[in-house]
Amino acid sequence: MTLRKYKPEDSKIICSWVKDEKTLFQWSADKIGKFPLLGNELNENYAQRNDEECFFPLTAVDENENVIGHLFALYPHADDKARAHFGFVIVSPEIRGKGYGRKMLELAIEYVQKEFGASKITLGVFENNPKAKSCYESLGFSPVGQRTVTIMGSEWVCIDMELNL
């Protein structure tokens, strides 16, 4: 597996992995907010960020260049490259539970360390997504807080996590 820069043609593949509304919101919180996905929603979301020099969408590909995962890294404060944030973390449903998500995150951690000198990475995960939370914990992310957000008409607890490098 390798990470490469996200390409617009990746959107259709990544969006096809989101089979239901719960998965949509677990993956993107309320940042996309419409279901079903038609395939261009990631491009539409990222077009709003294209000019940001602090936003880096990345796609994981296998040895045959097949898209198998995705996430973005961003720097919440443009003048502080020591703190990165990961979002929209997802792997193809066909390979979930087999360590690919962990491997993709290891590569992303290495990327932000090497390219930008990041020493802290943050992310959020919903409490109703225990497999993702477990994956993050296996990489050393620790809960540092939580907040409640209204999603699909109910209250979801989002756990804020961070990794100190």
DSSP string, 86-142: EEEEEE-GGGTTTTHHHHHHHHHHHHHHHHH---EEEEEEETT-HHHHHHHHHTT-E
Residue (of 55, 129, 44, 43) closest to 85 by Cα position: 55
Residue 33: what pLDDT? Answer: 82
Give average pLDDT by consecutive 10-residue segment, the chain, 165 residues: 98 98 94 93 89 87 98 87 95 96 98 94 97 97 97 95 97
Nearest Cα neighbor of 54 from 90, 79, 28, 89 is: 79
